[in-house]
Every structure is written in C-alpha cells, then in structure tokens.
Structure 1
Amino acid sequence: MTATLSMANLGTADLAMARGRSATANTAAEIQAAARAKDKQAVRATAEKFEAQFLSQMMGHMFKGITGDSVMGGGHAEEMWRDFYVEEVTKTFATRGGIGLADTIEKQLLQLQEAV
C-alpha cells in the first residue's frame, strides 16, 4: 500500500513547505518564460513575484518560533492564517522596493533577452 500525499494528512508546517516548493517551481517557470518574452512589464512583475516568494520563505521561518499572544491572538487559527499574512506582507515589501532582489533579477532577465 502506498501512502498518498494530501492536504488532510499534512501538518501546517508541512503544508507551508509543500506550498512553498510548488510556488517556487511555478515562479521558476515564469522566470524562464519572462526571459524569452520581450515584455519589460512582465519581466518586472515576475522579478517582484520571485522576490516576494523569497521573502515569504524567510519570514515564514522567522514566525515559526513565535507562540502565544501575538498579532492574531494565538491558537490553531493563527497557525493556519499566519502563512497568508506573511505572504501578503512580503508581496507589499516586494512591490515597494523590497531588498533589491527584484532589481537584480530584472537586470539579469533583460540581459538574457538581449543575448537571445
């Protein structure tokens, strides 16, 4: 009998890691597509999305150690909704300048377009 992976048998940490891997794979595919495209707005949007995903992974690990009375009051509900909160905060960071990762990725993608 083989075990199947489903949302029901994943813990919140495992679910967040699986969602992160899936989002990272999707973002990598988008980066490759943006490198082939000649649309600068699409390149910028993809670079910002990648930076947001990177920041989300970093901040998600930072919040894992926090327990008790925090922003959302603690408990099981907070564990479930914290990942969504972190994701939205990091999207805002990335669109407002972030840590500069999107700028670097955008430059590299534009250089790849010129080489093609």
Structure 2
Amino acid sequence: MDIPASNFTALAEGQAYLNRTSPNPSDLAKTAAKEFEAVFLTQVMEEMLKTVPLGDMGGGFAEETWRSFLARAYADQLVEQGTTGIAASVENSISAYRAAMRG
C-alpha cells in the first residue's frame, strides 16, 4: 500500500503547527501552581478577614462580597511576590509527577 507523500507533508505541517501553538508543559505547570496558590491563599485570607470586627456600619451582602474580592486581591499580591513558596512546591511536584509518568 502506497501512502502519498502529501499525507506525510500534511502530518508534518500539523505537528509543526501544534508545536508553535501548544503551550509549553512547564508553563502550564507554573500557571496551574500559581492558580492553586491563589485559590488556597484566598481561602486563608477569607478566614482571616472573618476575625476583623465589622464595626457599626458593617455587615450585609455587599460587604461579604467586597471581602471576598479583597481576599482574592490580597492573595493575588502574595502570589506575585512569590514569598510563600506554595506555587514553587506545587510546580516541582507537577514536574516530578510528569517525569515519573514518562518513565
């Protein structure tokens, strides 16, 4: 059975396209690790903010919503500073898992 050369050319062109457009696995691991850290720190910040007294004017749905946005903003800043080491640890774990899966 003869396979036309055009099929191989199309396959090579498709693979080249995927190589150009597919994200680097290391970049994906870093992004996932940072997002994990942000979600975790948001939860920590929300629990911390619950301990802050509301005062006479506090409370209600609007403040609850505002506090969740504030918690995420604090968490995002901590992630950008990279001072907790959570994202680095998660990224290393993802990389080790990927290496173990390759054999």
Same fold (TM over 0.5): yes
TM (normalized to structure 1)? 0.58
Q: Deviation above 4 Å: which 4+ runs of structure 1?
A: none
TM (normalized to structure 2)? 0.65
2:80 pairs with 95, 101, 108, which one? 95
Aligned residues: 77
**Identity rate, percent:** 30
Unaligned runs of 5+ in 2: 1-22
How much has 1:101 moved relative to structure 2? 0.8
Unaligned runs of 5+ in 1: 1-36
How much has 1:75 moved relative to structure 2? 3.5
How much has 1:38 moved relative to structure 2? 5.8
Indicate the residue corresponding to 2:19 in structure 1. Answer: none
How much has 1:81 moved relative to structure 2? 1.1
How much has 1:64 moved relative to structure 2? 0.7
CA contact (8 A) 2:45 2:74 kept: no
Compute the RMSD of aligned alpha carbons.
1.9
